[in-house]
Amino acid sequence: MALRINTLLLVIFASFLVLLPDCTFAKSLRSDLENAWHAHLQASRSGNESELQGTMSSYSLCTLKNKLVSAQRSLTPDIIKSFAKYGPDISTMEFTRLLEKGDNAGLVYVRDSGKKDADGNPTVTFTAIKFVKESGWKVEATMNCDKPMYQADGCKTQFYMSDLRPACVMDGTVKPAPTLVQTPYSTALLDVFSYGYQAQVMVNGIPQKPVTASWSGVVIGGLCKDENKISIKMTKVDTAKQSVPKIRIRQLLKNRTTREVLKFAPQKNIEGVHTFTVSVR
């Protein structure tokens, strides 16, 4: 009997030793990520782009700069400082989950939102911060997600991988930085309504954000004077909601009004690549 008990204790102890390295690694990774987040906030407070470059992923930084240039703006110290001003304060939140896949990692926190949903139930706000391994851990994106505080069974609501928005999805890869664009002749806006299809728009060879559902934003690279080549690739996807896609591009005029230069709303032969040439004066 004593031998059996000793053997059982040995097995339990050995199992504990196997699990211990994983727990230690998780704590170490969490610490590294939190340090990377604090370094990002410190760099943001400086308002210095070169310091920000050391804490923000190349993909996110170049994407941001392209959006600003396409809107006839630039990355100013005030914009950089706003990242720290409006970024999540993890010191006021409860840590709930560590995410990891390949060269991606993430931290998830939760706090009481102080609000109630339409049914009068209290809600919580989950905050996720995505990092990519690029010469050390760098910040890629952040997101907030409001959910009921409790599930139907009375247990506290959990955060799941399916709650991650596209910018924070853990795909395990480090996206390459996009090529920086030049200040365009004219700023333009892209409006996409595409449920049931993924729309991939290219303007003068520059790919825009792929959209499944609806989205509006600035056209990366803007529009050239005179001739502009535009292609729209439509790919059918399985979604609960299906509708006829509608895509338009609007030129932003000097008086801050817009002029529609392209409208795409096919009733048939939706899938495939559609090409257009539009003129801008």
For residue 267, what is the DSSP state? S
Residues 125 and 145 sit within 8 Å (Cβ to Cβ): yes
Residue 117: count of CB within 10 angstroms of its CB = 13
Average pLDDT, the chain: 91
> Residue 15: pLDDT above 80?
no
Domain coordinates in residue numbering, the chain: 188-280
Q: What pairing do the DSSP bridges indicate for beta strands 258-264 and 272-280?
A: unpaired
Burial of 31 (0-12, 13-18, 19+ CB in 10 A): exposed
- For residue range 24-64, list pLDDT tens digits in order: 767 899 999 999 999 999 999 999 999 999 999 999 999 99
Q: Read out DSSP for 235-253?
A: EE---S-----EEEEEEEP
Alpha carbons 257 and 85: distance in angstroms, whole number: 31
At residue 12 the predicted structure's pLDDT band, cuts being 50, 70 and 90, is very low
> Residue 198: pLDDT above 70?
yes
Phi, psi of 261 (to 5 degrees): -110, -15
Mean pLDDT of 235-254: 91
Phi, psi of 239 (to 5 degrees): -135, 155
> Residue 131: pLDDT above 70?
yes
Q: In the chain, helix, strand, coil percent, each to 5?
A: 30, 40, 30
Alpha carbons 189 and 181: distance in angstroms, whole number: 16
pTM metric for this prediction: 0.85
Q: Scan for tokens 């006021």, then name that residue.
A: 92
Query: What percent of the chain has a predicted confidence (pLDDT) above 70?
Result: 91
Residue 2 has a pLDDT of 52
